[in-house]
């Protein structure tokens, strides 16, 4: 027990229980804190571990999301190099719902009487270059009695630049805008419009056509069956992780209903292997869609229409489904 001596009341902060007493009190409080119950320590540790795991998972998710956006951009290789417009082709421009102006080439069907509305093919091109490097995939149809429109996605050719990184939803939106433009033209029979997508453009074309009954028939040339599937073939083990699902050709063809589908594909295609055509065709058949597959063992990917049999198959299909003059 502490005493201040001579009966005087002790002064706080002084004497034997003064400063030393304050130190004793602080030490006692510290001891109380150090003697926290074991259950509290265990609970604290559990919460700390959960926090660390949560933060780690969040970091992984953010990394994957960022990587997904980056990898999706790798699907697109636009070129804005200057190019001339060939004689007889009209430069056209039209707007997208999000305010961009897209450029395309429109060629009227040869041999069609002035003022006559002709059947029209909307050509949706592949992932690299611009309209000038893809035009030859569809120009043969002009001599067969079809109008042809081939357009550039945002950031490609003379089209406006994208306001964000390229995404599949945006190029599908661009395809919708191209269809809307065609329906405004006096020389286009709006009841006889077909779509023809090549390579990546096949997935874009089919996704758009699935939502638009105005598209009477569809051709998929050298197309891949799914975005994740083709990515996983190029990046084994990573494609399924880095590429999100959606707008796959297999899902799109299942929604074509009574509208017919032609698939053309080279059996020696090293970029998009022929098995993708078989997978797309299987999905269409499972959904009751009328589908025809034409294969070629003399062409690969970028030379698909070098085979006359492929060109004849496309021409014959559109003649049957859209109607055009027969030779």
Q: What is the mean pLDDT of residues 40-60?
A: 52
**All structural domains of the chain with their residue ranges:** 77-322
- Residues present in the chain in total: 327
Burial class (CB in 10 A: 0-12, 13-18, 19+), 36: exposed
Q: Give the tokens for residue 222.
A: 């050298």
Q: Please give the Cα distance from 201 to 123 (Å, whole number).
A: 8
Within 13 A of 88's CA, how many CA atoms are on the CB side? 9
DSSP H helical segments within the chain, as ranges?
Answer: 19-34, 38-73, 131-134, 168-182, 200-211, 227-234, 239-242, 249-253, 275-286, 308-322
Instruction: Let me know: does 142 contact 109? Beta carbons within 8 Å.
Output: yes
| CA-based R_g, the chain, Å | 33
Confidence of residue 205 (pLDDT cuts 50, 70, 90): very high
Burial class (CB in 10 A: 0-12, 13-18, 19+), 51: exposed
Q: What is the mean pLDDT of residues 86-102?
A: 98
Instruction: Let me know: does 213 contact 292? Beta carbons within 8 Å.
Output: no
Instruction: With 0.85 as the threshold, say if the pTM is over it.
Output: no
Q: Report the Cα 304 to chain-centroid distance in Å.
A: 23
Instruction: Let me know: does 156 contact 79? Beta carbons within 8 Å.
Output: yes
* 250 has pLDDT over 80: yes
Tell me the pLDDT tens digit for each residue of 131-173.
999 999 999 999 999 999 999 999 999 999 999 889 999 999 9
Give me the residue label for tokens 């002009």. Answer: 142
Q: Please give the Cα distance from 43 to 122 (Å, whole number).
A: 64
Confidence of residue 7 (pLDDT cuts 50, 70, 90): very low
Fold adopted by 77-322: Rossmann fold (3.40.50)
């Amino acid at each position: 027990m502490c005493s201040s001596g001579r009966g005087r009341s002790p002064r706080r902060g002084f004497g034997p229980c003064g400063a030393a007493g304050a130190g004793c009190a602080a030490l006692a409080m510290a001891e109380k804190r150090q003697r926290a119950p074991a259950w509290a320590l265990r609970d604290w540790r559990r919460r700390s571990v959960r926090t660390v795991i949560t933060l780690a998972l969040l970091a992984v998710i953010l990394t994957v999301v960022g990587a997904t956006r980056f990898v999706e951009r790798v699907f697109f290789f636009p070129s804005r190099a200057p190019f001339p417009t060939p004689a007889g082709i009209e430069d056209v421009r039209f707007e997208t719902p999000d305010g961009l102006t897209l450029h395309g080439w429109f060629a009227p069907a040869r041999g069609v009487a002035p003022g006559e509305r002709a059947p029209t093919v909307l050509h949706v091109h592949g992932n690299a270059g611009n309209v000038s490097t893809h035009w030859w995939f569809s120009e043969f149809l002009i001599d067969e009695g079809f109008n042809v429109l081939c357009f550039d996605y945002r950031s490609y050719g003379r089209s406006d630049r994208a306001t964000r990184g390229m995404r599949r939803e945006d190029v599908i939106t661009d395809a919708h805008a191209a269809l809307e433009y065609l329906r405004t033209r006096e020389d286009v029979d709006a009841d006889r419009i077909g779509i023809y997508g090549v390579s990546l453009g096949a997935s874009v074309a089919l996704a758009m056509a699935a939502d638009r009954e105005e598209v009477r028939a569809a051709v998929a040339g050298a197309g891949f069956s799914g975005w994740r599937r083709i990515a996983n073939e190029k990046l084994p083990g990573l494609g399924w992780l880095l590429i999100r699902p959606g707008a796959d050709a297999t899902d799109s063809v299942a929604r074509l209903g009574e509208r017919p589908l032609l698939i053309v594909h080279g059996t020696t295609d090293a970029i998009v292997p022929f098995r993708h055509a078989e997978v797309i065709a299987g999905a269409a058949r499972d959904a009751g869609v009328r589908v025809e597959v034409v294969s070629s063992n003399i062409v690969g990917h970028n030379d698909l229409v070098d085979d006359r049999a492929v060109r004849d198959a496309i021409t014959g299909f559109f003649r049957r489904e859209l109607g055009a003059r027969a030779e």
